[in-house]
A and B are shown apart, each in its own frame.
Chain A
């Protein structure tokens, strides 16, 4: 079946630095990808919808200048957490639909120290 690859799986960064997370659809094209944040023992909160060749659509309350999304090709979307702070520490997951089924990346555990 389709595969969504997310990298890195874990990252630790210093407060104030930026971190880039990549999400690739390996054997299908994804014009739309979703970025979620999942806190421990909580649900996936949709942060933004990434659209190939156009601006991302951010959910209410999500700072678009802090969470930069780029969807430059049909197989790659990136999420950059800029000027990271400890409160940005979380589990980030990307997802994309292949036809009618959603496929998820493995997730990225971000720890800001």
Chain B
């Protein structure tokens, strides 16, 4: 069965500091991996996705993520966080034929001025 784990419920970083949000997945085959951001009262916005190829994926808003098969991880990173990045971040995993699509529990990011 597939599953997605986001170990960190809350993370607080200072504005300008670097950020890494963790995501671990469990899936029998090569998964399709996604990161979404959700601001309060808003819908989900896709930051980036990984299907195959280069394991370092660039996304919008300066985010990137690295797929590490050996660690079953797909961590999200940003070199310098902005106050506007404060939101909830969700990692998601989809099956190769898109007949399953699971979300992690989410990580709430707070940004200190």
Tell whether, in the assembled complex, residue B102 and residue A42 are in contact, meaning their CB atoms are under 8 Å apart. Answer: no
Tell whether, in the assembled complex, residue A44 and residue B103 are in contact, meaning their CB atoms are under 8 Å apart. Answer: yes
Tell whether, in the assembled complex, residue A43 and residue B32 are in contact, meaning their CB atoms are under 8 Å apart. Answer: no
* Interface range for B: 20 to 34
> Which residue of chain A has its CB nearest to the CB of B107?
A43
- What residues of chain A lie closer than 8 Å to B98, measured between beta carbons? 32, 97, 100
Assuming A42-B105, A43-B106, A106-B43, is B32 touching A100 (CB within 8 A)? yes
Interface residue ranges of B62-107 to A (CB < 8 Å): 88, 90, 92, 94, 98-106
The answer, among B49, B90, B94, B99, for a CB contact under 8 Å with A43, is: B90
> Which residue of chain A has its CB nearest to the CB of B106?
A43
Tell whether, in the assembled complex, residue B44 and residue A46 are in contact, meaning their CB atoms are under 8 Å apart. Answer: no
**B51 in contact (CB, < 8 A):** yes
- What residues of chain A lie closer than 8 Å to B11, measured between beta carbons? none
* Interface range for A: 20 to 34
Assuming A43-B90, A44-B90, A107-B43, is B101 touching A102 (CB within 8 A)? yes
Tell whether, in the assembled complex, residue B49 and residue A101 are in contact, meaning their CB atoms are under 8 Å apart. Answer: yes
Given A42-B106, A44-B103, 14 more contacts at CB 8 Å? A43-B104, A43-B105, A43-B106, A44-B90, A46-B102, A46-B103, A51-B99, A97-B101, A100-B49, A100-B51, A101-B49, A102-B94, A104-B44, A107-B43
- B interface residues (Cβ-Cβ under 8 A, vs A): 32, 34, 43-44, 46, 49, 51, 88, 90, 92, 94, 98-106, 108
Shortest 7 CB-CB contacts between residues of A and residues of B: A44-B103, A97-B98, A43-B106, A43-B105, A43-B103, A34-B101, A32-B99
Residue contacts A-B, CB under 8 angstroms, 7 given: A43-B104, A46-B100, A51-B99, A57-B99, A97-B94, A102-B94, A106-B43
